[in-house]
Amino acid sequence: MHRPLRGAEKWNFHRAWDRASHCQAIALFHCRRFGKEDVPMTNIAVDQNKRARFVPAPDNRQILEPDAWAPLLVTKAEIDAEIERMSSMPLEPGTARASLIVHPQSTSPGFGLAPGMALSVNVLNPGEETIINRDNANRVEFCIRGDGGFARIGDRAFGVTQFDVWTVPSMMQRYYRNASNTPLVWFSYSNVPLLDKLGIHYSDESGIAPAAILAERTLIEKTYNRDNAPDIAIGADGARIRGYEYLVDIEAVKNGALHWAWQDVTPYLSHAPNDGKRTIMLLYNPATERRNGTTHSFFATLTSWPAGEKRPVPPSGHRHSSFACNYHFLGRGSSIVDGERFEWQAGDLMLSAPNWSEHAHGSSLEGASVLTIQDHPFQIGVEALIWQEKMDGPILTLGSEPGQAGYVGPRLAGD
């Protein structure tokens, strides 16, 4: 019987994490799981950096499991101290006053709070404004402090107040202004670490909105485009061959900046025991279609557990390959992640569900309100999202097979 392999044994390079001592150790695996010998290579006088290497493939008989980072709690006191530090710094023209919150296990390139997700704290002092270059990342942003803010994302403009959520689609310039008498502070969740790992993060100074499709095409463009390119069925099972035009004249799906004002969303969330309203709701962007995202990389949900009713942490949690990052902006409560208990309060941020870690959450009599970010849509897009709602239940590939019905929230069955 082969035991399950964690990520440490799946890759040549492994960063081991010691939770108890909070120290890091680097282990290098050259050939097989615990081998120490370099892969034999022909002794040729060439630049080895320009040669491919051949290494043994993983043993397909091994059972693999996702390699989760440790859960991490970032306290309100830590975040407030960083905001105070940043507030005293000058704001250079064309820049953001921002700090990344980086997980101890994160490595360069692609520093983040979770694999594939960066979280920055952004501060504008009273009367300040800034323009930030467009790039090919997408973002969910959330105002944690302040009122009287203003944002223009691409050609969409809106006011910003505390607990508002908005999106920044790819390749859209951002403009922010603080017209209030207090600092404006917001979180920005992005997929920059993933782009950095792939070496494809791009930015420029252009403020030009995406070009509209030309009303009048040239004769060649009228002749060679997606509408009249070859599209031929191969067999009866759905396989097809298509012309090159399908690769470069892709159907555009409108994806402008969206804004969920807290005052518009909160009436639909539960605020009193047994009020018949939902405790968790998805902030849905139609451009993500079946991926049910807020952006193409992330979904954002708002949870509201009403005050006056204590909600203990369930004895059993659920798990999924997508990470979950919780910002607790009202109330207090508890979380248990892979058997480790955490107590949190308003203003605390937590990597509350590292990939494939069993987790469950509860709230105190004060209730709690929580913003959750997951890379659920991205994983659906690459057919990688596995989900287990009950720890003794089936493991489902969401988006590729019938999903888990019967639940209106994590471990919360419908009446």
The angle formed by the CA atoms of residues 320, 4 and 19, to the nearest 5 degrees, is 70
Q: Output the pTM of the full model.
A: 0.85
pLDDT score recorded for residue 413: 67
Residues 182 and 270 in one domain: no
Is residue 324 domain-resident?
yes
Per the model's pLDDT, the better-predicted residue between 96 and 380 turns out to be: 380
Residues 263 and 403 in one domain: yes
CA 159 to chain centre: 24
Is residue 212 domain-resident?
no
Tell me the DSSP string of 156-174.
Answer: EEEEE-TT-EEEE-TT--E
Last residue of a domain, one of 228, 248, 268: 248
- The residues pairing with 121 across neighbouring beta strands, listed in sequence order, are 99, 187
- The residues pairing with 157 across neighbouring beta strands, listed in sequence order, are 152
Is residue 81 domain-resident?
no
Per the model's pLDDT, the better-predicted residue between 233 and 4 turns out to be: 233
Residues 301 and 364 in one domain: yes
Determine which helix (DSSP H) or strand (DSSP E) holds 84, and give its type and residue range.
Answer: helix 76-87
Match 């520093």 to its residue by tokens: 111
Residues 188 and 268 in one domain: no
Mean pLDDT over 261-276 rounds to 96
Is residue 295 domain-resident?
yes
Which domain CATH number covers 196? Answer: 2.60.120.10
Work out the mean pLDDT of the chain and round it to a whole number. Answer: 87
Per the model's pLDDT, the better-predicted residue between 21 and 225 turns out to be: 225
pLDDT score recorded for residue 35: 36
Tell me the DSSP string of 211-259.
Answer: PPPPSS--HHHHHSSGGGS-EEE-SSSS-EEE-THHHHSPPP------E
pLDDT score recorded for residue 409: 72
CA 18 to each of CA 35, 67, 91, 357: distance values in angstroms, whole numbers, following the listed order? 22, 14, 38, 16
pLDDT score recorded for residue 208: 61
Residues 291 and 357 in one domain: yes
User: What are the pLDDT digits (tens) for 317-360?
Assistant: 999 999 999 999 999 999 999 999 999 999 999 999 999 999 99
Is residue 301 domain-resident?
yes
Per the model's pLDDT, the better-predicted residue between 407 and 42 turns out to be: 407
Residues 241 and 308 in one domain: no
If one counts the domains in the chain, the total is 4
pLDDT score recorded for residue 404: 76
Is residue 387 domain-resident?
yes
pLDDT score recorded for residue 20: 36
Residues 169 and 223 in one domain: no
Per the model's pLDDT, the better-predicted residue between 93 and 160 turns out to be: 160
Is residue 83 domain-resident?
no
Which residues span the domain enclosing 241? 219-248
Residues 16 and 128 in one domain: no
Residues 5 and 56 in one domain: yes
Confidence band, pLDDT 50/70/90 cuts, at residue 47? confident
Per the model's pLDDT, the better-predicted residue between 11 and 93 turns out to be: 93
Residues 126 and 32 in one domain: no
Residues 174 and 147 in one domain: yes
pLDDT score recorded for residue 412: 67
Lowest mean pLDDT among 123-132, 208-217, 309-318: 208-217
DSSP state of 346: T
Is residue 76 domain-resident?
no
Cβ-contact 206, 132 below 8 angstroms: no
Q: What span, in angstroms and rounded, lies between the C-alpha atoms of 177 and 126?
A: 9
pLDDT score recorded for residue 92: 86
94 pLDDT more than 90 = no
Lowest mean pLDDT among 18-22, 168-172, 361-365: 18-22
Residues 131 and 232 in one domain: no
